[in-house]
Amino acid sequence: MSRTPQRIVCLTTETVEVLYALGEQDRIVGISGYTVRPPQARKEKPKVFAFTTGDIDKILATQPDLVLTFSDLQSEISRDLIKAGVPVYAFNTRSVEDILGMVETLGRLVGAEAKALEIVAGLEAQIANARAIAAERVARTGKKPRVYFEEWDEPLISGIRWASELIEIAGGEDIFAEQARSPLAKDRRPTPEDVIARAPDIIIGSWCGKHFRPERVAARPGWESIPAVNTGKMHEIKSAIILTPGPVAISEGLPLLLDIFDL
């Protein structure tokens, strides 16, 4: 008899992505309504919770022997599930290393460690290849583009740590790299004047849940002096790719950054 969990509820999309990649999707008995990867999960699996809101009874009805949650944002539902006697594993993914560690940990939890290590090795190879491409480009051009990554527009929120690290891997310089190390969004709120003063060459927008609007960015008072605005180098990377703390941020987000920095 297996001692690994057989009935898993995933309350964020990245753990669904990993379990499918591991070939362990049959264990999933419930997902978040915000799950986007892989697309078939939305068709195959019951949606039992949103992200921070929902009915705990819908989760409990699936009779889970493990619920996977994410960070302090889901601390309340984690607490309620633990009080109800359900085992909970809360990932607190913040960095690229944390993403790789999450894949390894989830592999161990379901008894698929070898496959998880294969996935991690593939992601590490992609990171190494991106670094090599970036290093060649910097050697050829003699410069790194200065990048402003905007996670939200009202108020301004700059990029979270793994996005900042991916920018660096791709050969860019995140103008707010120091703020990116804070796990709290409230510590990543530059003023418009801060952005103007740091004069980014490229602006990347990834507004959670809505389309990036470069024309709105360009219309901000004083921003016409920013090199990225002046040259039109404002690009969108969808939040479902770059702001998901799972393999997709590396497998798809990193190539997109390389392409943007090559323009």
Span 118-261 CATH architecture: 3-Layer(aba) Sandwich (3.40)
pTM (two decimals): 0.94
Strands 156-158 and 146-153: antiparallel
pLDDT at 14: 97
6-64 confidence digits (pLDDT tens) = 999 999 999 999 999 999 999 999 999 999 999 999 999 999 999 999 999 999 999 99
Q: Which residues of 120-131 are buried (b: 16+ CB within 10 A; e: fewer)?
A: beebeebbeebe
The pLDDT value recorded for residue 208 is 86
Q: CA angle 79-81-85, nearest 5°?
A: 115
pLDDT mean values, one per 10 residues, the chain (263 residues):
89 97 98 94 96 95 98 94 97 97 98 98 98 96 95 95 98 96 86 98 94 97 97 96 96 98 83
Contact 72/53 with Cβ under 8 angstroms?
Answer: no
The confidence score (pLDDT) of residue 185 equals 78
pLDDT at 263: 66
What pLDDT is stored for residue 25 in this prediction? 98
Cα distance between residue 40 and residue 161, in whole Å = 29
Return residue ranges of the chain for CATH 3.40.50.1980.
8-92, 118-261
CATH of 8-92, one of 3.40.50.1980, 3.40.50.620, 3.40.190.10, 3.20.20.70: 3.40.50.1980
